[in-house]
Amino acid sequence: MNHDDNVLPPRAEISSLFAVPIAQAQHPDHEALNAELKSLLLEREADPRYANPHPSLQQQPGVFESDFNLFAWPEPCIQRLRQFCWTELGRTIQTLNGYSGEEMRRIQIFSHTWFHVTRRGGFVIAHTHPMASWSGVYCVAPGQQPADRPDSGVLRFHNPHYYSNMFLDPGNLRLAPPFHHGTWNVRLRPGQLVLFPSWVSHDVLPFHGDDERITIAFNCWFAMKPEEGAQAGTGSA
């Protein structure tokens, strides 16, 4: 394409529409916290009472999934992690929705929370989380990363623009983020929290380490309590 450098037209304005918000945070004291979490979770993994009796996804060999009440456990390490996750999730929701401090104090959070222990060969199939608005993954231990398996155990998000790569040519082959197509991989590190909309399809690629990959996950949905003095079920359109 040829242009006369002296008569270039004005640059077109480029907007990012239909973007997917992904938030990431790092726990400031993750080494001490994760040591406690790892000890507790491996102990509970060995007790069948803590296994999920009704998993929503087909469980693969090498993957242990707990029941969905993890953040109800009273152990201090669990409650410290719960505080960190809910704080970062609250900040994310407030920023993206433009809520005031007063509105945030009225928001009620409901959740399912659980942990995964993944060993060699374990993986999680692609899925979404219906009936929730936000999901998160916290990394307790990413596990060994074999040099010849760079994608071992990565958390992979799928582009929701399913037809974005239906036709490829030099005009769209090398689009830079956030306009790129394909998938986005996250190689988790200890203490990392990833928050994402629950409708985004994601999976975990097969883990090839000789130790354990340990993560904590949650799905959340919310309600807004009425303002003080307001009666539930009343109001104007």
Which tens digit of pLDDT belongs to each residue from 181-206? 989 999 999 999 999 999 999 999 99
Q: Which residues contact 144 (CB under 8 A, 6 or more apart)?
A: 152, 209, 210, 211
Which tens digit of pLDDT belongs to each residue from 73-90? 999 999 999 999 999 999
Q: pLDDT confidence of 11, banded at 50, 70, 90?
A: confident
The stretch 31-36 carries a mean pLDDT of 98
Residue closest to 41 by CA, chosen among 116, 112, 113: 116
The reported pTM is 0.90
Domain 24-161+177-224 classification at class level: mainly beta
Contacts for 24-31: CB closer than 8 Å, 24+ residues apart:
24/192, 24/193, 24/194, 24/195, 25/84, 25/88, 25/192, 25/193, 25/195, 26/191, 26/192, 26/193, 27/81, 27/84, 27/138, 27/191, 27/192, 27/193, 30/190, 30/191, 31/190, 31/191
- Rounded percentage of the chain residues whose pLDDT exceeds 70: 93
Tokens standing for residue 72: 């109800």
Residue 235 has pLDDT above 90, yes or no: no
Residue 5 has pLDDT above 90, yes or no: no
Buried b (16+ CB within 10 A) or exposed e, 146-181: eeeeeebbbbbbebeeeeeeeeeeeeeeeeeeeeee
Whether the Cβ atoms of residue 139 and residue 75 lie closer than 8 Å to each other: no
Predicted pLDDT at 233: 44
Q: Where are the domains of the chain?
A: 24-161+177-224
Which tens digit of pLDDT belongs to each residue from 103-154? 999 999 999 999 999 999 999 999 999 999 999 999 999 999 999 999 999 9
